[in-house]
Amino acid sequence: MYEDRILNESKFLKIREFFSPNNSSWIVFGVIILAGIIARIFLWDFTSTDIFVWKDAAELFLNGENPYQTTLESFQVEGIKHFYAYFPLWMYFSSLILLVFPETWFFGVTKGFILLFDILIVILFYAILEKKVSNVWRLKIPIAIWFVTPMVIMTGAMHGKFDSLMFVFILLACIFHEEKIYLLEGVFLSLSVLTKPIALIIVPFFFIRDIRERDFSSLFTKIAALFALVTLFSIPFLDDPFLYLQGALGVHVTREQDLGLIFALLSMIFTSPNAEPVIRICLTVIIVVVWLSVIILAYIKEFDIYKSIFLAFVGFNVFYWVFLIQYAVWIYTFYITYTTKNEKMKHWHLMTSTSVIIVVSTVALALLGTFVKHGL
């Protein structure tokens, strides 16, 4: 009888140990991540036309043509789908896929890599936050919820957009910024810019600490790495640098589709035919003022790199006259890093509750997108 009781108690203790907070959090984390992977694979058959733009740009490049000529033409003719309008890193990546794999595999291989990038972000989140967050639930649940948030899944798994690759490079740059490994910080910062030019707005935040500490050797190391890589990757297009810069940067200020909320509201108030250009100029001035204000505050208040990036993306997207769901992912990704490690937010469920609100607010859009083969 006594031996049976000891045996039962031993089994009970082993069960309790197995379902410790750490093990339980890993189980829940793993289930959510697995669900996110399954959801992405299920949605691979749905897409927008963007993924075909990546393929067309790669084909033009491999055929010796300049894709940025097509980019300018696409922004000049109303009603035509906008062509490739970024620095060339993703174009090279797409070209490599076409060279290595059969052409019919392009769609699936691209979606597969985007899934890999999303998983890498989860790993980088954990690497960044593990040393900053002691509560295992607060550490893992926000990361897992990011992975299954509909707007994150839609951006990559459905529409084939490559924002997650930019996040991988930015998060790596943040890690090396914290570790003070300046050359790698500059390299990954440069790669983030080469992926999407929006990353240019966060570049100054990686220099603030060096300026404050008067560490000019690290500052120049990062600047040199940034310019060297951007120049290196741009070499095939520098025979016509104006066309290249217009295609990669300039066309974004002429966009007249997917207009944002503030621009739309102001357009309803000011209905003059000449009002829209003036509204764009005013909003551009506001964006610059907000951006400079964040830089100054980051210097004075000594914001960490994650808070600075988060505020920069918020300020840009609130006032930019174009809004797409992927832009909200920029904010949400760095909201995770900033709020999860914030000691002033003492209850981990506060972060989770906010994440759930974001999930609920986008689930209707995600469900709608499930039935739309060519995007929203």
| 236 DSSP 8-state letter | G
Q: Are 115 and 156 in contact (CB under 8 A)?
A: yes
**pLDDT confidence tier of residue 373, bands split at 50, 70 and 90:** very low
13-71 pLDDT, tens digit per residue, is 455 555 576 778 888 899 999 999 998 888 877 777 788 899 999 999 999 999 999 88
Q: Is a pLDDT exceeding 70 seen at residue 9? A: no
In the structure, how many helices (H) and strands (E) does the chain have? 18, 0
Helix (H, G, I), strand (E, B) or coil at 270: coil
pLDDT at 280 over 70: yes
Residue 73 has pLDDT above 70, yes or no: yes
Work out the angle between the directed axes of helices 106-129 and 21-42 (0-180°, nearest 10).
Answer: 160
Q: Alpha-carbon dihedral of residues 176, 182, 185, 187, nearest 10 degrees? A: -140
Q: How many CB atoms lie within 10 A of CB 44?
A: 17
Q: For the chain, give the number of residues.
A: 376
Q: Residue 325 corresponds to which tokens in the numbers above?
A: 């769901």
CB atoms within 10 A of CB 303: 19
- Confidence class for position 79, pLDDT limits 50, 70, 90: low
Q: Is the pLDDT of residue 374 over 90?
A: no
The runs of H, that is alpha helices, within 19-162 are 21-42, 50-62, 67-76, 89-100, 106-129, 136-148, 150-153
- % residues pLDDT > 70 (the chain): 83
Kindly report, residue by residue over 140-183, the tens digit of the pLDDT: 888 998 998 888 888 888 888 899 999 999 999 999 999 999 99
- Closest by CA to 121, choosing from 177, 182, 172, 176, is 172
The span from the CA of 245 to the CA of 79, in Å, is 23
More confident site: 359 or 371: 359
Q: With 70 as the cut, is the pLDDT of residue 275 above it?
A: yes
The DSSP 8-state label assigned to residue 158 in this structure reads: I
What's this model's pTM, rounded to 2 decimal places? 0.88
pLDDT recorded at residue 359: 61
Spatial separation of the C-alpha atoms in residues 89 and 95, rounded to whole Å? 10
pLDDT over 90 at 199, yes or no = yes
How far apart (Å, rounded) are the C-alpha atoms in residues 220 and 193?
17
Confidence at residue 178, expressed as pLDDT on a 0 to 100 scale: 94
Per-residue pLDDT at 357:
58
What pLDDT is recorded for position 138?
Answer: 82
pLDDT at 4: 53
Percent of the chain predicted with pLDDT > 90: 44
| Domain boundaries defined on the chain | 2-370
Instruction: Please state the rounded mean pLDDT for residues 60-83.
Output: 84
Q: What is the dihedral of CA 175, 181, 185, 188, to 10 degrees?
A: -80
Give the type of residue at 267: S
3-state secondary structure of 373: coil
Residue 226 has pLDDT above 70, yes or no: yes
pLDDT digits (tens, 9 = 90+) for 287-310: 999 999 999 999 999 999 999 999
DSSP, collapsed to helix, strand or coil, labels residue 180 as: coil
Asked if 290 and 319 touch (Cβ cutoff 8 Å), the reply is yes
Mean pLDDT confidence for 312-326? 85
pLDDT in the model for residue 372: 37
User: Residue 261 to residues 133, 265, 313, 360: CA-CA distances in angstroms?
Assistant: 36, 6, 16, 20
Q: Which of 75-89, 161-175, 299-313, 362-376 has the lowest mean pLDDT?
A: 362-376
* Residue 49 CA to its chain's centroid (Å): 19
